[in-house]
Structures are given as structure tokens and as C-alpha cells.
Structure 1
Amino acid sequence: MLVTIVTPSFNQARFLEATMRSVLEQDYPQIEYMVVDGGSTDGSVEVIQKYAHRLAWWVSEPDRGQTDAINKGFARARGEVLAWLNSDDTYEPGAVRRAVEALQAHPQAVMVYGEANYIDEAGRVIGRFPAAQTDYRRLRRGYVHIPQQAAFWRAEAWRAVGPLDPTFYFAMDYDLWVRLSMLGALVFVPGQVWANFRLHRDAKTIAADDRCWPEMLRVHRRLGGGGLAPIVLKYYLRRLVAPYIRWKRSRLFER
């Protein structure tokens, strides 16, 4: 099975090489790798050019942001399996092979996902993403628990529900998971760490987390969800505890 992986990037030169090497050094031979850069000016292009001979395609030009870059890459994809890896995250060795094995073991699954570590700017493990099994019903309730970095899905499912909604800045992955879960099972593979989710001061998860839940509510309302649904109540609870969450995350950078 050919696996297409797309890395969207913009001014992430300090992390980009680690990201690219984590893909290019996988032990699975059938990988089509693309890097879609938004016109970086920080040396990212030089990093990409260093590995250009091992890429299926790359470009560096202004775009409309991360979602647009991902869609641009997948529009060229030839793989039977798709994934994207942001330019500050990394795969663990063997991740792609294990994902393909999981899809082969679960022919009913439209997507599989494994565990993911939280890592800091230096690549040190500082925690574990709370990954867990979910499905359409639980996703609609706000029970997501899918580390995007460790998710791989079938291209035929993408063609049925894609591309990503370009109006989303943060929750385009949640929107995709909901749409994929309408087609079939999302299968979690516990005990296998497939990826590393980098937390740093400039990361969207840190800098713009307050935009995530309102976008998730847009998905909820688009599907006819009401105002008293669990996901709405979770949104208001999240707003209440947001100062504590920001404080807790800030302590990660004091280590």
C-alpha cells in the first residue's frame, strides 16, 4: 500500500528537518512524501532543498494557511493511505509500517491511530497525549482523543468526504474525523506510540487554543446539534478552566 504523507510548513525551519527526517527514515518503503511550504523566509526552503531528491513533490509559495497547504498536497496524492505531519511534529520509527499493518488487520476501518507523546522544543518527552477509542457518537459529544499526528486514513474515504474545510483554522482535523466516522470505524491501536506532538510557545495549540472549541461547535451546529448537547456544555466548562490549562501549559516551558 502506497502511503502519501503531506507536511504543511511555514517558517518552522528550526523543527522542519527533524520532521522530514522522521518521515524519510521510516522503515516502510512505499511512501510518497510531499512538503507544502507557504513561502517561508527563515531558511525552510534550504532545508527542503537538502532533501528534495527524496520528495515526490514540494513547493514554496504563498497560500491561505495550513488547511490550504494540506489540501494542496492531497490533491496530488497517489497513495491508498493518507496522513499529514505538521512541520514541528515527528513520527516514531516504524510508525508508518504499523499503521499499514493496522489498516490491513482492520479492513472495516476507514482510519487508524496510535499513541502520541508530547515533546518540548528540544525533542524531550514531557507527557503523553490522552488518546482513546472514539466513534461518531462520542465525537459529537466532544470526546475526541485522536492525536492528529498519529492518524492514517484510507484515500477512498478522503475522496468521499474531503477536502478539509478551509474556513477552519484549528478544528479542521476534528471536522474530518467526524466526517470519516460517518463512513466506518476509527480504530485506536493502544500501546503503540506512532508520533510526537511538539509543544512550544509558537505552536497553535499554545498560541490559539481558544479558537478550537468554537470551531468544534460550528461542526456541531452544521450537523443540526442543539444548544444543550454535551459538547456545548463541555465548551462552557472549558472556558471556565482555561486559565488553569494555560497556567499548566506555561509550566512546561519553565523546565
Structure 2
Amino acid sequence: MSISVIVPVFNGEKTVKETIKSILNQTFTNIEVIIINDGSTDTTLEIIENIPDSRIKIFSYPNAGLSASRNRGIFQAKREYISFIDADDLWTPDKLESQWQALQSNPQAAVAYSWTDYIDESSKFIKSGRRIKVNGDAFDKLLITNFLENGSNPLIRQEALKIGGFDETLFAAEDIDMWLRLAANYDFVCVEKPQILYRISTTSMSTNLKRQEAASLKVIERGFSYPKAEKLQHLKKQSLSHLYQYLTFKAIEAPPQQRQTMTAVYFWWNWIKNNPAIAKNKRVVIIAVLKIIFPQLFERVTQLKVALM
């Protein structure tokens, strides 16, 4: 048994070497590393060409975006299992082996996923991700929230990808769109430990959250149109609430030059509208409003806490 690891990269000179190192250092060694150079204009290609490992295969194409790069990687993949990792994320050394073992122990499942921790631009721990455990039918849980959290997470049986590749028309939410299609047809299995280190950086923050909203709403509508969702329509408001909660905090956490107060208020209002119970939690409401209106105050408080630690 062997695994194809697909690495889409565009101008990733600052992080791609560390990402590839985390792949090559996996305890599961029977892998091919398919690097899709998506029209990089920096030193990315030079960096990856100078990594001496016969398992690496490099393919360069004109720039076409993340979904197209992943699909190009799928086309080139020759192994029984596929995993994706973005060129600024990292894996713990046992990630592939643990997920592969989980699929061996659960032959009815086609997707194994792990938990995520978040790191900064220096690869230092920031915070833990959600610790959501789902084994078996994951479709209803994914309709509500993307508990896989990112595209660098799952290990997938190649045969399951007959459902089709990533939607290249989506500006965002292409990951959850793929996971929903997989969950509509196959079982999932959870590896109960954090194995994906997802990098948060100021440059990776979305500068167009309204476009992200539009893509996410399209994916939600698509998900609830599947035959499997026929009896799950009551979950739609919960799904929308989770989306707008995410977008609210994304807007709040954006760097000052990208922050859009009115957009944050709009997201916050839709969060409340789709989950009126939130409005009863005065502490959550007050904190969210203050963060939107007085972001500098919270930044200074955070900096003070760090200085006192």
C-alpha cells in the first residue's frame, strides 16, 4: 500500500521547504510527493528542485489556483491513497501512518481525518482547533460545520475520488464542498489527536470576505440539495449560523489595513439572526460587539497579557 501526497504551491518560498520536510519525515515512507508548482514567480521552483529525494515529483503549470492545482495533482497521482497539504502547513511525523492504520481498521471508511492545531509564521503554537470526533456517517455533521477545518487534513482512498475533483469555480469553501460529496457517499474515521499544524499569517487572511461568504453560501445550498439531506433541512439555520460566526471572527481578526467594520457587523447580525439563542448570551454578544468597534483595545489587552506571561 502506498500514498500520493499532493502539494499545490504558488510563491511559497518562505514555507515550502519546511512543509516538504514534514512530508519526507513521515513514519509512513512508501509515498510519492507530487508538487504542483502553480506558476510561481519567486524562488519556489529552485528551492524544491534542490531537495534531494527520489520520492519528489515536480510538475509546473501556468497559474490556475488552488482547486485546479489539487486536481492536477490527482491526475498525476499513482498510489492507492491520496492526501493534500498546502505549502505553508505542517504534519506531525505520524500523521500519514495513523490515518492509514485507521482506514485499514475501518475498511468501510474512505476518509480518515485528524485534529488540527494552529501555528504562526514562525511555526509556533497559537491555539488548538476543534476536537470533534465523527466516525461513520459524517454528512449531517459536515452540513453544520467543517470539522476537518482545512484542506491539509484527510487521507482519502483514491477510488473514492470518482465523485469528481475540487470545484474550480469556487473562490473559497472548495474543501468543504469536496468533503460533503465524499460524506454523501462514504464513511469517515477520526484519528483522535492533533496531527495537522495549520499556519495562520497576516498574508493568508482573506481580503474579500464577501466573496468567501458567497462561495460558502453556494456550497451550503448545494449540500442541502443532496438527496441525503432531504430529512436534514432543519439543520440549515444552524449551518448558516456557524458560517457567519466564522466570518464574524475572521473579520474581527483581520489586520488593521484589511479590517472592515461594517462587514463585521453584517456578519455578526446574520450570525445572531440564524441563531437567536446567541442573543441571550449577553457576554458573547458584548465581547463580539466590542471587538468589532474597538479592535485596538483588545489588541493592546492581548499584548499586555503576553508581556506579563
The alignment's TM-score, normalised by the length of structure 2, stands at 0.73
Corresponding residue number in structure 2 for 1:173 = 175
In the alignment, is the contact (CA less than 8 A) between 2:119 and 2:199 conserved in 1?
Answer: yes
CA positional deviation for 1:206 = 4.6
CA positional deviation for 1:163 = 0.8
Q: Which stretches in structure 2 are left out of the alignment for 5+ residues?
A: 226-232, 256-290
SS of 1:14's equivalent in the other structure is coil
In the alignment, is the contact (CA less than 8 A) between 2:4 and 2:77 conserved in 1?
Answer: yes
In the alignment, is the contact (CA less than 8 A) between 2:209 and 2:251 conserved in 1?
Answer: no
TM-aligned CA distance change 1:234 to 1:198, over 3 Å: closer
Tell me the percent identity: 24
Judge which range, 46-55 or 70-79, deviates more: 46-55
Task: Supply the distance in 1 between the matched residues of 2:254 and 2:31 (Cα, whole angstroms).
Answer: 37
Task: Supply the distance in 1 between the matched residues of 2:196 and 2:243 (Cα, whole angstroms).
Answer: 27
CA positional deviation for 1:22 = 0.6
In the alignment, is the contact (CA less than 8 A) between 2:117 and 2:198 conserved in 1?
Answer: yes
TM-aligned CA distance change 1:52 to 1:164, over 3 Å: farther
Task: Supply the distance in 1 between the matched residues of 2:147 and 2:62 (Cα, whole angstroms).
Answer: 32
In the alignment, is the contact (CA less than 8 A) between 1:15 and 1:88 conserved in 2?
Answer: yes
Matches within 5 A, 1:178-197: 178-190=180-192, 192-197=193-198
Q: Select the structure that is richer in helix.
A: 2
Q: Give the counterpart of 2:238 among 226, 230, 244.
A: 230
Task: Supply the distance in 2 between the matched residues of 1:53 and 1:19 (Cα, whole angstroms).
Answer: 14
Task: Supply the distance in 2 between the matched residues of 1:221 and 1:146 (Cα, whole angstroms).
Answer: 19
CA positional deviation for 1:172 = 0.9
TM-aligned CA distance change 1:65 to 1:239, over 3 Å: closer
Q: Is 1:124 aligned with 2:124?
A: yes
In the alignment, is the contact (CA less than 8 A) between 2:143 and 2:224 conserved in 1?
Answer: no
SS of 1:7's equivalent in the other structure is strand
Corresponding residue number in structure 1 for 2:158 = 155
Task: Supply the distance in 2 between the matched residues of 1:81 and 1:127 (Cα, whole angstroms).
Answer: 30
SS of 2:215's equivalent in the other structure is helix
Task: Supply the distance in 2 between the matched residues of 1:117 and 1:236 (Cα, whole angstroms).
Answer: 22
CA positional deviation for 1:244 = 3.6
Corresponding residue number in structure 2 for 1:164 = 166
Corresponding residue number in structure 2 for 1:199 = 200
Q: Is 1:88 aligned with 2:108?
A: no
TM-aligned CA distance change 1:94 to 1:37, over 3 Å: same
Task: Supply the distance in 2 between the matched residues of 1:240 and 1:123 (Cα, whole angstroms).
Answer: 25
In the alignment, is the contact (CA less than 8 A) between 1:199 and 1:206 conserved in 2?
Answer: no
SS of 1:123's equivalent in the other structure is coil
CA positional deviation for 1:208 = 4.7
TM-aligned CA distance change 1:210 to 1:194, over 3 Å: farther
In the alignment, is the contact (CA less than 8 A) between 1:131 and 1:146 conserved in 2?
Answer: no
Task: Supply the distance in 2 between the matched residues of 1:236 and 1:195 (Cα, whole angstroms).
Answer: 24
In the alignment, is the contact (CA less than 8 A) between 2:209 and 2:247 conserved in 1?
Answer: no
In the alignment, is the contact (CA less than 8 A) between 1:201 and 1:207 conserved in 2?
Answer: no
CA positional deviation for 1:45 = 0.8
Judge which range, 37-46 or 225-234, deviates more: 225-234
In the alignment, is the contact (CA less than 8 A) between 1:8 and 1:70 conserved in 2?
Answer: yes
TM-aligned CA distance change 1:56 to 1:214, over 3 Å: same
For the pair shown, which has the larger CA radius of gyration, 1 or 2? 2
Q: Which stretches in structure 1 are left out of the alignment for 5+ residues?
A: none
SS of 1:102's equivalent in the other structure is helix
In the alignment, is the contact (CA less than 8 A) between 1:8 and 1:69 conserved in 2?
Answer: yes
Select the structure with the greater relative contact order (CA < 8 A; seq sep ≥ 6): 1
Matches within 5 A, 1:58-73: 58-73=58-73
